[in-house]
Chains A and B, each alone.
Chain A
């Protein structure tokens, strides 16, 4: 029996290793010098002509056809009435839905992977079971969403082939080898997902559980690599590299793949997906909480919502900085793209973005303070709420103040320019950096209060600890505001660098502040347990707001990123000569995004419903800790939420 178990271990490990190697072995040769491609292609005609890489400025042998010059006749149309006859709108909608579901199936496994690992590491067996159940509940939903993603992916490909054959043909001719790897990775991901899901219960004990958790990691590696390959195509269209000015491939796949914006987009999307995953789970749990029939169900879904919110917000904190990096790289690549985005045609969409991000922060803080109502002893912090909201509001007012004001001609003359002498100062990046860091620090502060809500600190160095904590926030805030003001007096390229010390202050508050707080809470007296399920219904609408805001943000920012190319398919290499090569008015674009958000949530409800069909009305895990652990933590309910 023992030998059988041991051999199972080795077989599992060997299988995992082989899967991993077989997939990635295809990638390695591509990243080496690939001049052979050109040599083969040009062998009969002597030495091939050379071209200069538009981005890397290196010379290389011409190894592919130039980008085609398309005319309006090269763009087939569906001949549908009104705006529905616009091929771009059809592609936009299908691509948006594919992206939503693609993010869903990448995001939820990240969520599951983290939760499963937590389940493995938690010492309390009851809590461990609860986390495990939570992860399982979600991978089940992911399975249905995976099929929907694949169907939408197929629709997207058909859409490209039938409506944009010229563009698709050109991009496919360049990225052909990567498209093959993409297909293989898709197969590998599907296989891993099925083993991960169907093997959940048969691999829930001992070493096999670790193998299962490793499969979860592998699933995410495949998923993330898939996403990165797809990102390389869109990054190429925004900032081409690896080709000459005619769009001819120069034989270097590494250059083709690694365009100027590839990595910033990769990082931004990975973090964005994590936030999105948390947001979807939060909305799902809110829906389940509001429709729960029993106390036990309410308690379980309340807890699920808290975990999802925690995960989403934890991922949200680095997201603005990844966004800044991406925008900086866009600006550095082409000033016209940067200006179109941040100061020109698309600038007002960033105000919509600011509103949505502000809504997220408010939703989180609102949820946390509502959550404190389910803890006895938290009343003493009620008076803090107004200061937290006041600080958030002031920061948010600065955050959403536009640089270019929308106004009447009479208002323009009264102000004496497009920038208001008082509020106009808040329209620039320096003010925005200060504002967003302030909002983040206030959110972190609210979370620290939440951690303390039902605790009375007993460590001897409590006063010193509190002084340190307040000093940390004080110094970080002072540093943030001072740099925000200083930013007005220095060149733009130096100012961009100031965001680093500002972020450093915020992250110090997050990591060092939370760690210090946890150390202070060691051995703290509990004023009462968290009464899961007793949170107000109002708070659950904040959770819905969280999920919907994330979806809207994705639609909005995706549109901004894509439409910044204006009338180019591939920037400065391949022109868009279709009848739809114009930028829609902001109102129309916003309506398309909103319709897409609604479609996605209707689809999501369908996916949730499907998951319920198979589950029936099963019992939810208990929210009670096991007796042994209870005794251990009496008087030391150390990590509110994290241990719950």
Chain B
């Protein structure tokens, strides 16, 4: 996708340069600064709206276009000559000294009020569309939680199954066994836990989180919000392992107030799984995606 995007941008640039060259050759002058600015804004809109797939959300599109308009304005006014050239058609339209510009002025002053009227109408008319949502994806966890009668301090707790061959806690051990076979009988303890975690995952979690942990399970799109995509670098890779444990154990119902009203539909797995089982699932998720949990040591 990024390669296609870059190719389309290069093609747009070549088209512009070729068009400008043709105009210079035929009429002795290229595209004026004023129209260069308009063309640039339109090209950016076209790329953001139609080339990037899936389409980017409208809120982000407006943000991007706001920036593009601002930059085009800054660029066109950054030197005196460019600024004068940019203003020229605007001033000529306002002055309307020639019949051509008189017509342009009439059209402009006719069209702008109509556009403003349409805009005002659209703005104030009753709207039945779904509202734009700002959802907190990672609400802050509490300092400690109670799971199966035990108190767990989330800042300090560690997975009991993230261990090396000697049984010692090891950060990033998944990297060592990324290509190992969990079904190998001689697999180290860590891979044994990963296999058990995988079994639990495919019995309970894959319906929503997907076979590939990419949130494309068979039930995924029945929910709003859809389940977390663990392959995205912005989910489990950004979080401490105890955060993930908290979410698994307490589910959507255990989210703090800032997570509502768009709370996740995930059940509190502490009611169905043991503490060890939940840790093993988490080990499997990190091993499968190849990500490490966030640590500070």
Contacts and interface: CB of A to CB of B under 8 A. Distances in A.
B117 interface: no
Contacts of A428: 233-234, 238
A458 B232 CA distance: 54
Given A336-B142, A424-B234, A362 B134 contact: no
Contacts of B224: 409, 412-413
Contacts of B67: 358, 393, 396-397, 400
Interface residues of B, number: 72
Interface in B222-246: 224-226, 228-229, 232-235, 237-240, 242-243
A408 B297 CA distance: 39
- Which among A406, A538, A572 has the greatest number of chain B C-beta atoms within 10 A? A406
B138 to A, nearest CB: 4
Contact of A335 (B155, B232, B237, B297): B155
A419 B229 contact: yes
A348 B134 contact: yes
Contacts of A419: 229, 232, 234-235
A403 interface: yes
Interface in B122-161: 129-143, 154-155
B15 interface: no
Interface residues of A, number: 67
B17 interface: no
Contacts of B77: 538
Nearest to B290: A489
Interface stretch (A38-46, A100-108, A275-283, A338-346): A338-346
A612 interface: no
Q: Is the interface of B mostly helix, strand, loop or mixed?
A: loop
B2 A422 contact: yes
B142 A405 contact: no
A75 interface: no
Interface string A401-422: 1111111111111111111111
B241 to A, nearest CB: 10
Given A340-B140, A417-B232, A366 B294 contact: no
A287 interface: no
Contacts of A336: 140-143, 154
Nearest to B142: A336
Interface in B69-111: 70-71, 74-75, 77-83
Interface stretch (A172-180, A182-190, A382-390, A629-637): A382-390
A583 to B, nearest CB: 8
A369 interface: yes
Contacts of A358: 67
Contacts of B294: 335, 491-493
B71 A393 contact: yes
B216 interface: yes
A396 B66 CA distance: 12
Nearest to B138: A343
Contacts of B238: 343, 428, 492
A424 B68 contact: no
A566 B82 CA distance: 50
Given A362-B71, A488-B233, A492-B294, A538 B141 contact: no
Contacts of A403: 137, 234
A594 interface: no
Contacts of A418: 135, 137, 225
A391 to B, nearest CB: 11
The 6 closest A-B pairs by CB, nearest first: A491-B292, A407-B57, A343-B138, A336-B140, A492-B294, A340-B140
Interface of B: 1-2, 5, 52-60, 63-64, 67-68, 70-71, 74-75, 77-83, 129-143, 154-155, 171-172, 215-216, 221, 224-226, 228-229, 232-235, 237-240, 242-243, 258, 291-297
Given A370-B78, A492-B238, 19 more contacts: A334-B155, A339-B140, A339-B243, A344-B139, A344-B140, A389-B75, A402-B60, A405-B57, A407-B133, A408-B131, A410-B130, A411-B58, A412-B225, A416-B226, A418-B137, A419-B235, A427-B234, A428-B234, A491-B292
Interface of A: 331-332, 334-337, 339-340, 343-345, 347-348, 358, 362, 366, 369-370, 373, 382, 385-386, 389, 392-393, 396-397, 400-425, 427-428, 430, 488, 490-493, 536, 538, 566, 572, 583, 586
6 contacts: A335-B294, A406-B134, A417-B229, A423-B60, A491-B292, A536-B83
